[in-house]
Structure 1
Amino acid sequence: MPLWSKLPIKKRERRPFGFPTVAAVCLALTLSGCAQVDTTSPADARNHAAKSGQVRFGTVDCREAKCIALTFDAGPSENSARLLDILREKHVPATFFLLGKRHIEQYPELVKRMAAEGHEVASHTWDHKILTRIPDRRIREELTRPDDAIERLTGRKPTLMRPPQGRTDANVHRICRELGLSEVLWSVTAKDYLTTDPRLITRRVLDQASRDGIILLHDIYRGTVPAVPGIIDALKERGYVFVTVPQLLAPGKAVPGKVYRP
């Protein structure tokens, strides 16, 4: 068992901003814990829907456009307002997977702003518990509490969630299906919990970016938000179109209980 998994919560809460907390390190680890999970790619979701006669693509047809999704985990934070300013200036939609405890609770106005400005607001659980390690009752609590809080603030209950550390299993799928939630993983990680250098974060994203990619970043770290303008500009120069995760799947829709990953 890794050392960080044994650290007590009180130890983590005392760490200063900018130092990677245990929870945040878990957020962006590689998907080794879910390597055997059956996933559906955005292309498969689109193709299945098209064959079924669904033809509503929204603002972008990602069968034709070179789409990519920008996602942020573990917010809101004190950096989120600046991030939203950048996204508005660049006309880029994003998908936010929010934590409840100490985040949604602390920054309710930012949650409202995310939804009002056209971003997809989703859940990253209430307290970042590893869902495969806790009983069903606590899984449901981790999933329902942030959804209820987001619905109270935005008027819309989330349909997407991202499991902490990407760890999921058949039991988590079953509970997500009952709650009307789909799980969203990722294909690009900048490991922004390990560096405050925006140039390094930018390079890591650009090195991994590909069509239908889902980029994982965290706006809780001081090096991440300054990297976002350069990431957006460089990917636009490469011909990418930024979309939310639901738009990436369109005309398909995320199916509760399924896991989506490029």
Structure 2
Amino acid sequence: MPSPTRKTKNTGTTFRSAAILSAALALALPLTGCSSLDTTAPSSARAHPPADTQARFGSVDCREAKCIALTFDAGPSEHSARLLDILKSERVPATFFLLGRRHIEKYPELVERMAEEGHEVASHTWDHKILTRLRPDEIREELERPNDAIEKLTGHRPTLMRPPQGRTDETVHRVSRELGLAEVLWSVTAKDYTTNDSALIEKRVLRQASRDGIILLHDIYPGTVPAVPGIIDALKRRGYVFVTVPQLLAPGKAEPGQVYRP
């Protein structure tokens, strides 16, 4: 996505409100500045499970299956209901990293539906502020507010979060650890914030997909949800099994304060 300091044209059709335009200018960059992070791969997490964890997680064992995780940032939005319909029809679980302000607040019924239909509901912060620019108390507020809202709606407090733009540091790790949150990055990005061309979004995902991959998409953009059926069908034909991020790590478990990336 463009740097927050650059100007982006508003076509008048891409975004339906100033709120969505604001989000578009600030959403995830492709891990800029994160190349030196100490991260844990899903395979490493699976190889070192906690002693009290069962050998398998649900019906999928990613030590044997060719797994991939589909994740969506910055929702819910007006497009999320259609996305949930598609995932339900395809029997595909996903992980949703939700924004609080103007998203969880606006679409609480969709947050409830995500949890009820078996998806992992996680945090993308309250207001999409860049955490590495904040004081520890501000980081805490950005992370606690969406967790409180999600827990109120679903009865489950998130254990995962995705830092805006993938930007994180030791202070973010420390606060996340104190709040019981693991950080999840990604290995596949369609850069769907740059285009409404669903065919191009699908092509980009399929070109980058690999075993244990974590796919980053955004269900706030009009071109993304129409690309999802083709992505699912093509990856299923390649032998992939779709899982949530916790399933991808199992029988390991996401540890608070750790950063996970394939």
What's the TM-score once normalised by structure 1's chain length? 0.93
8 Å CA contact 1:4–1:22 kept in 2: the answer is no
User: Aligned-pair distance for 1:34?
Assistant: 1.3
SS at 2:113's partner residue?
Answer: helix
**What is the letter of the counterpart of residue 254 of structure 1?**
A
**What is the letter of the counterpart of residue 241 of structure 2?**
V
8 Å CA contact 2:189–2:204 kept in 1: the answer is yes
Matches within 5 A, 1:65-144: 65-144=65-144
SS at 2:132's partner residue?
Answer: helix
User: Aligned-pair distance for 1:160?
Assistant: 0.2
8 Å CA contact 1:24–1:74 kept in 2: the answer is no
**What is the letter of the counterpart of residue 100 of structure 2?**
G
User: Aligned-pair distance for 1:29?
Assistant: 1.6
8 Å CA contact 2:198–2:223 kept in 1: the answer is yes
8 Å CA contact 2:53–2:251 kept in 1: the answer is no
2: CA distance, partners of 1:134 / 1:194:
27
More helix by share: 1
Runs (5+) with no aligned partner, structure 2:
none
Compared with structure 1, are the counterparts of its residues 25 and 236 closer, same or farther at alpha carbon in structure 2 (3 Å cutoff)? farther
2: CA distance, partners of 1:35 / 1:162:
16
Identity percentage of aligned residues: 74
Q: Provide the residue aligned with 2:14 in structure 1.
A: 18
SS at 1:58's partner residue?
Answer: coil
8 Å CA contact 2:53–2:252 kept in 1: the answer is no
Q: Provide the residue aligned with 2:187 in structure 1.
A: 187
Q: Provide the residue aligned with 2:175 in structure 1.
A: 175
Q: Provide the residue aligned with 2:224 in structure 1.
A: 224
**Deviation per residue, 1:151-209 (Å, 9 max, x gap):** 00000000000000000001100000000000000000000011111000000000000
SS at 1:228's partner residue?
Answer: helix
2: CA distance, partners of 1:17 / 1:125:
26
1: CA distance, partners of 2:204 / 2:105:
31
SS at 1:44's partner residue?
Answer: helix
8 Å CA contact 1:5–1:22 kept in 2: the answer is no
User: Aligned-pair distance for 1:28?
Assistant: 3.1
Q: Report how many aligned residue pairs link the two structures.
A: 257
Matches within 5 A, 1:41-60: 41-49=41-49, 54-60=54-60
Q: Provide the residue aligned with 1:236 in structure 2.
A: 236
Tell me how large the CA RMSD over aligned residues is.
Answer: 2.1
**Deviation per residue, 1:205-229 (Å, 9 max, x gap):** 0000000000000000000000000
Moved over 4 A (4+): 14-17, 50-54
Runs (5+) with no aligned partner, structure 1:
none
User: Aligned-pair distance for 1:18?
Assistant: 1.9
8 Å CA contact 2:160–2:183 kept in 1: the answer is yes
